């Protein structure tokens, strides 16, 4: 596939280039397919290298907090008090969506799963694909009497944070027994590292179910469940419905853009949409300007690649607010 080919080219180009300017980032696997493409295209245009390691949001937060990398990336936004403690800036880069993907032979795409049933599957309460709760919402679909194999993340993950935030708010059982976090004590299932690891396990494991960012669903041609809006209407995992949810985002530089986007109102709002964020050390003004130069370039030139991969670009108005945030903190890139 083209995106995977570009990823390989990006890594090769970044690893072997002799150009002097090199920026190192690490973190979320959620936006990694897009960051690889942006980095490759930026390198072709400017000769500047963006070396991004897809290690999970937890790892990204740890590495930027320890000043190991020039920027961190996390799908879990940090609250202002956390940012102050760690001496970090934060801004969103793009919006993505988390889908409930499954590998069940002879079952169609967009199987309907009530939100509460998703929680019960990941709690281990719904054990078989032909459970009455699933069958009632999918008349005419011949569901197999096969055990459901749950796949989840094994690492600290912003994707997990957003997915468990969703589960916590739609299931009292999940809220009281598991809760929300980058890493949780999963009741059942197999663990994979990164969205990549979960995707690989899903492909290899018949009758499995897991959660991945939509770009990984597209790359691997996974089937994904139709879920429910906040008001209970069925909503398929489509880019139009992701955009409907994302339209409710209210970003503010006053709180360093802190917002969790899951479970937005609206009859077409897909329930698990998430922003992904960039973290910068407050004391490294010179390096920060090089990082913001890359993201400013991506904001101006990268929307079509974002859409192609299934992400939702930030609105122009939000990008302008982010640029003002950079200016306010004196980390805006030099004017061209």
Q: What is the DSSP string of 40-109?
A: HHHHHHH--EEEEEE--HHHHHHHHHTT-SSEEEESSPPPHHHHHHHTEEEEEEEEEEEEEEEE-TT--S
Task: Give SS3 for 10.
Answer: helix
- Based on the fold, state whether residues 209 and 116 are members of the same structural domain: yes
Domain that includes residue 174, residue range: 98-246
Residue 51 lies in a domain: yes
- Based on the fold, state whether residues 37 and 105 are members of the same structural domain: no
Residue 215 lies in a domain: yes
pLDDT at 125: 98
- Based on the fold, state whether residues 23 and 140 are members of the same structural domain: no
- Based on the fold, state whether residues 198 and 91 are members of the same structural domain: no
pLDDT at 15: 44
- Based on the fold, state whether residues 113 and 238 are members of the same structural domain: yes
- Based on the fold, state whether residues 74 and 113 are members of the same structural domain: no
Residue 333 lies in a domain: no
Instruction: Give me the average pLDDT of each 10-residue run along the chain (336 residues).
Output: 43 45 94 97 95 95 98 96 98 97 96 98 98 97 98 94 97 98 96 96 98 95 97 96 94 96 96 97 96 98 96 95 97 82
Work out how many domains the chain is built from and give that number. 2
Are the CB atoms for 133 and 143 separated by under 8 Å?
A: no
Tens digits of residue pLDDT in 156-192: 899 999 999 999 999 999 999 999 999 999 999 999 9
pLDDT at 20: 53
List, in sequence order, every beta strand (DSSP E) within 225-329.
227-228, 234-235, 273-281
Residue 91: CATH number of its domain: 3.40.190.10
List, in sequence order, every beta strand (DSSP E) within 114-173.
149-153
- Based on the fold, state whether residues 231 and 288 are members of the same structural domain: no
Residue 27 lies in a domain: yes
User: In the Cβ-directed half-sphere of 72, how many Cα atoms lie within 13 Å?
Assistant: 29
Residue 120 lies in a domain: yes
Give the global pTM: 0.89
Tokens representing residue 290 in the block: 């090089």
- Based on the fold, state whether residues 173 and 296 are members of the same structural domain: no
pLDDT at 334: 81
pLDDT at 21: 80
- Based on the fold, state whether residues 119 and 232 are members of the same structural domain: yes
């Amino acid at each position: 596939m083209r995106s995977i080919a570009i990823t390989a080219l990006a890594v090769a180009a970044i690893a072997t280039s002799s150009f002097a300017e090199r920026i190192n980032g690490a973190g979320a696997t959620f936006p990694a397919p897009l960051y690889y493409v942006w980095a490759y295209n930026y390198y072709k245009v400017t000769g500047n290298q963006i070396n991004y390691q897809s290690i999970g949001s937890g790892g990204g937060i740890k590495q930027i907090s320890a000043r190991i990398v020039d920027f961190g990336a996390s799908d879990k936004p940090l609250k202002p008090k956390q940012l102050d403690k760690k001496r970090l800036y934060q801004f969103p880069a793009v919006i993505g969506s988390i889908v409930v993907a499954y590998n069940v032979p002879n079952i169609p795409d967009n199987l309907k799963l009530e939100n509460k049933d998703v929680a019960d599957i990941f709690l281990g309460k719904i054990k078989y694909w032909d459970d009455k709760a699933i069958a009632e919402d999918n008349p005419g679909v011949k569901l197999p009497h096969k055990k459901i194999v749950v796949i989840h993340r094994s690492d600290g993950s912003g994707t997990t944070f957003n997915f468990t935030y969703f589960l916590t708010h739609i299931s009292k059982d999940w809220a009281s027994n598991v809760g929300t976090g980058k890493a949780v004590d999963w009741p059942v299932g197999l663990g994979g590292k990164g969205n990549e690891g979960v995707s690989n396990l899903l492909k290899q494991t018949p009758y499995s179910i897991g959660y991945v960012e939509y770009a990984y669903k597209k790359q691997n041609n996974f089937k994904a469940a139709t879920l429910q809006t906040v008001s209970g209407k069925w909503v398929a995992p489509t880019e139009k419905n992701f955009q409907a949810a994302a339209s409710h985002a209210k970003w503010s530089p006053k709180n360093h853009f802190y917002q969790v986007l899951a479970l937005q109102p609206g009859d077409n709002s897909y329930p698990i949409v998430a922003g992904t964020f960039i973290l910068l050390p407050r004391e490294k003004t010179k390096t920060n300007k090089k990082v913001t130069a890359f993201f400013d370039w991506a904001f101006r030139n990268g929307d079509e690649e974002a859409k192609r991969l299934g992400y939702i670009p930030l609105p122009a108005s939000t990008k302008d607010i982010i640029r003002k945030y950079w200016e306010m903190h004196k980390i805006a890139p030099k004017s061209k």
